Amino acid sequence: MDNYNRGAECYNHQQYEMALEEFTQAIQKGYQSSEVYNSRGYVYFLQRRYDEALADFTASISANLNNLRAYANRAMVYSHLQRFNEALTDADRAVELAPNFASHYSDRGAIYFKLHYEDEALVQLGGNNTGA
């Protein structure tokens, strides 16, 4: 757990390489929680190491099927990789887990736009397309 806390501290100070080292050491020492995989995955995402980020977000979800942040983060990576159908699946799950978080609807709306489902995107974003 100490490595995880040090990794979080490094992350907060934008020391991403050190954060990766600490999160990885935490995992190697047996602290394989959903949070540590999600945290390390986010650092990988910030470094544009998308394959590694996907692997960690998937591990995070495997450790906790209700980890809202891991679904939202994995949807974000899928979007960056233009894998929009997979992004939509994770965005849907994020909305299911936290239906009162407006940001998840806007994330899902952005994915719908990328899939060229403009009407559904507008619904998700809280707009309308009736001209009224």
d(CA 74, CA 52): 11
Q: Which domains does the chain have, with CATH numbers?
A: 2-124 (1.25.40.10)
Which are the contacts of 5, defined by CB distance < 8 A and separation ≥ 6?
none
State residue 121's pLDDT score.
84
Confidence at residue 117, expressed as pLDDT on a 0 to 100 scale: 87
Whole-number pLDDT of residue 116: 85
Low-confidence ranges of the chain (pLDDT < 70): 1, 127-132
- Cα torsion through 13, 67, 70, 93, rounded to 10: -150
Q: Position 113: which residue type?
A: F
Query: 5-15 burial by CB neighbour count: b if 16+ within 10 A, else e?
Result: ebbbebbeeee
